[in-house]
Amino acid sequence: MAFGTLKADTLTHSTAGSLATNYVVQGSAKAVSAFNIDTEFMTIANNSLSSESLNISSGTDRGTGLLTVSLTSAMNTRQYIFVGGVKATNNTHTLDGSSTTSDVKSETNDADSNTAGDQTPYSAVFGDLA
């Protein structure tokens, strides 16, 4: 199969309108992950990445609340934007300061008194790919 180059400044849909292509390149998430720690919340296997993940080659549970996702394509610098959340009550999901351009390390915290491991963290990374 041959690959070519498509050059366009604007994408136009017949009913949805137009969008500048630089928005797609600069404004879209470069990596998205959903890491399942508890099968109660997702239909994927325990301790695995969602099939909806983007630019993620693997995920690692490094211990209680410590997760690492490896990027298929690395970020240009460590100065990327990390947006995270958790599908559970009283939980937080934040970036670990030791993240690299090729790994996104994060920490989750379950702040409620429920003993169930109800953390299912999600994240998106914005910035430039290397």
Sorted by where each begins, the domain ranges of the chain are: 29-126
pLDDT in tens, 4-15: 787 888 888 888
- Per-residue pLDDT at 119: 65
- Per-residue pLDDT at 53: 80
Question: What's the predicted TM-score (pTM) here?
Answer: 0.71
Pairing of strands 81-86, 66-71: unpaired
Residues of the chain with pLDDT under 50: 39-45
- Per-residue pLDDT at 115: 57
Residue 40 tokens, joined: 């109660």
- Per-residue pLDDT at 48: 62
